[in-house]
Structure 1
């Protein structure tokens, strides 16, 4: 039997009411103004109050302790502003889909995905909390790829339902991480579908693999699935442009077939390269290195 859905607490209802009210008010504005305002609200209000700003400072001190303080502080602001824009986009699925249609797919991984699709073979595309990962999913769907997305259930069940409704508008199927979505996800792969997932989610039973110079608990499950089902494994990224309103995509070279740990290390290395190029676009709010290091 499936696990019972968690019931909403009074705190959950209050958080949901505040969140939906904010989203509803923002939706009155045209998309560009909405995105800019959400960037400001996240950076100036939500991030400081929720402790996100402090977490970004701590993570930057861990990874780049020698960064000049002025550069460090400017990066903290840029990270939280980018996070606000990404949240706005994820809760504006029609606008995100429109942007995806205007964003061509590029990079060596595209040919590999096209070959797999033509041959009816499965594929797994891996991104991180970088740029806007759902831009790539939407762009792949627009190009005719049968993409199923893997997601993690949010702690607040009411916000989770709202979030799921929004990302479902971008495209389905969607599979909940863990036992609830496992069967449907495996059938999707067996049928030659493409699975979209994220690599930079900390898992308590993960393998401590290097990420930006520090060990981070990382799941090797996507590499294991690729090996089990003969799927190609392709790192993909939706990179925000300097004007903050457009994107480019990059589908990296498919990961060579070796073993789960080596392949997962390669995924981390690919994401590292994107983060070093555009550090403001990665979700430094994550407690990414907890449990994998002494930090």
Structure 2
């Protein structure tokens, strides 16, 4: 395959995308429970080790938990890869995923503030992380009658992103790709009293703030936009349950308005609390500490 045929990515990206497309297409023919379990197993046993995801997770765990034994790090990294795989196929299976969440009730101290914001048409920015399944809360709150847009970061593999992005735009409110144009669209959506969600736990230009005890590049966009628009900032999380298929959806109390840095520190603290309880559910595969 010539370089001219892959202007937006490498040959390795193209090959990786072909393999993932084939796997996803095959799994989508299977019953939902089987599909989710098999994708989790594939990431844990084969794809994670081959792509370097497991190694990166182990390296990050060694940084954050230097006293953790090698065997424990390996096991935790494998569980992380399994959650990653389950999340991918759940989001491709968005219709069935939504049906599975049809009886899930959101809980948490942020629900009353959310109801008041909806009543007064005050913008809301939901902030969440690559933890459990970050789309679970959006499904549940959409079922409750809220229209929730989003601002997402395109994947580095342009081929995979081309079809993965469609899973996020197939339902719910308007979803925008990060960048000047996407951010402007996201802000317009909020300014009209809309709700939107942002993931804030990846390395991005901004400030170097402590996260799990080490400085990490952190975007301040969520706080800056919220302060500009007088929007509520409400953390929410989809926490995978022991059966591997169901979720608890937690809608937390709004983050107190302060400087952008202070608000992000509080958001980091909220996520750190969840990681302490369920470390295998955070995506340690990301290059969080560059």
Mark yes or no: TM-score above 0.5.
Answer: yes
Q: How does 1:212-251 map to 2 (within 5 A)?
A: 212-251=212-251
Range 12-21 or range 250-259, more displaced: 12-21
Match of 2:210 in 1: 210
Instruction: Output one character per residue of 1:187-208: Cα deviation in whole Å (capped at 9) or x when no partner.
Output: 11110011101110111x2211
Alignment of 1:74 onto 2:68:
no
CA deviation after TM superposition for structure 1 residue 8, in Å: 5.6
Match of 1:192 in 2: 193
Does the 8 A contact of 2:133 with 2:239 survive in 1?
yes
Alignment of 1:47 onto 2:48:
yes
Q: How does 1:117-156 map to 2 (within 5 A)?
A: 117-156=118-157
Match of 1:256 in 2: 256
Across the aligned residues of Structure 1 and Structure 2, the Cα RMSD in angstroms comes to: 1.4
Alignment of 1:269 onto 2:269:
yes
Range 21-30 or range 175-184, more displaced: 175-184
Range 270-279 or range 180-189, more displaced: 180-189
Instruction: Output one character per residue of 1:159-190: Cα deviation in whole Å (capped at 9) or x when no partner.
Output: 22211222222323001111121221111111
Match of 1:85 in 2: 86
Match of 1:23 in 2: 24
Q: Distance in 2 between matches of 1:8 and 1:65?
A: 36
TM-score of the two chains, using structure 2 as the length reference: 0.94
Does the 8 A contact of 2:147 with 2:172 survive in 1?
no
Q: Distance in 2 between matches of 1:110 and 1:155?
A: 35
Gaps of 5+ in 1: 1-5, 291-295
Q: How does 1:102-113 map to 2 (within 5 A)?
A: 102-113=103-114
Does the 8 A contact of 1:100 with 1:136 survive in 2?
no
Q: Distance in 1 between matches of 2:231 and 2:181?
A: 22
Instruction: Output one character per residue of 1:43-82: Cα deviation in whole Å (capped at 9) or x when no partner.
Output: 1111111111111111111001112343322212211111
Match of 1:174 in 2: 175
Does the 8 A contact of 2:202 with 2:287 survive in 1?
no
Q: Distance in 2 between matches of 1:137 and 1:129?
A: 13
CA deviation after TM superposition for structure 1 residue 12, in Å: 4.2
Range 62-71 or range 43-52, more displaced: 62-71
Gaps of 5+ in 2: 1-6
